[in-house]
């Protein structure tokens, strides 16, 4: 039994060297800084940044780095239903949504009201320009993924905002400016 544990211990110790020699591709593109090892200096032994530079060099040149990053991302996604970036929301059944579409789904669009009113005025002017030239201008807005597939969004905290998303504000503003050639896709989809 001692021989088996001794052999297992040696294999564990030698695994980073084996991975460094083989350098398998785990499908993770890891950007390395390209740090060089810090110079040994007796005067720097009392300086905290000297030890941090060793830590940064080791983290940058560690042979199992891409495997560990791949494993961490896999565990985050599969077990904890989260991602490395806060710009992505993981819904049910592994569906991914952008954070902007989730904020819009939660109806937090009131801060965009002025921009939407300006957009509708530009569209109205463009529509009149095309009508003056004897042509028709059609305007289509594709809804967010979270609007089309709300059943896969998952649990979200309740919104404390104005209860209007950008699309609702756009529809409201179009009614006041009589934009005639707007094609609604939300009911079709």
HEC string for 60-75: HHCCCHHHHHHHHHHH
Q: pLDDT tens, 8-36?
A: 888 888 877 776 666 666 555 666 667 77
Structure tokens at 169: 């504000």
Percent residues over pLDDT 70 in the chain: 87
Q: pLDDT tens, 94-121?
A: 888 888 888 777 777 778 888 989 999 9
CA dist., res. 28 & res. 130, Å (int): 50
CA dist., res. 59 & res. 69, Å (int): 11
Burial category of 69 from C-beta neighbours within 10 Å (exposed 0-12, middle 13-18, buried 19 and up) = middle
CA dist., res. 156 & res. 151, Å (int): 12
Q: pLDDT tens, 136-156?
A: 888 888 878 887 888 888 877
pTM attached to this predicted model: 0.56
Quick count: other Cβ atoms within 10 Å of Cβ 89? 22
pLDDT score for 133 = 93
């Amino acid at each position: 039994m001692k021989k088996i544990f001794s052999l297992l211990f040696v294999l564990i110790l030698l695994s980073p060297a084996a991975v460094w020699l083989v350098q398998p591709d785990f499908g993770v593109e890891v950007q390395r800084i390209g740090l060089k090892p810090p110079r040994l200096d007796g005067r720097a032994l009392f300086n905290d940044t000297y030890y941090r530079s060793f830590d940064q060099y080791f983290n940058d040149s560690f042979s199992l780095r891409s495997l560990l990053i791949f494993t961490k991302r896999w565990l985050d996604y599969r077990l904890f239903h989260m991602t490395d970036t806060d710009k992505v929301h993981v819904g049910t059944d592994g569906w991914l949504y952008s954070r902007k579409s989730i904020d819009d789904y939660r109806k937090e669009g009131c801060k965009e009201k002025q921009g939407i009113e300006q957009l509708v005025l530009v569209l109205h002017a463009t529509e009149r320009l095309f009508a003056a030239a004897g042509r028709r201008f059609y305007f289509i807005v594709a809804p967010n993924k979270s609007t089309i597939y709300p059943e896969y969004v998952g649990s979200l905290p309740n919104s404390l905002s104005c209860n209007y998303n950008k699309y609702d504000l756009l529809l409201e503003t179009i009614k006041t400016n009589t934009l005639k050639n707007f094609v609604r896709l939300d009911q079709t989809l």
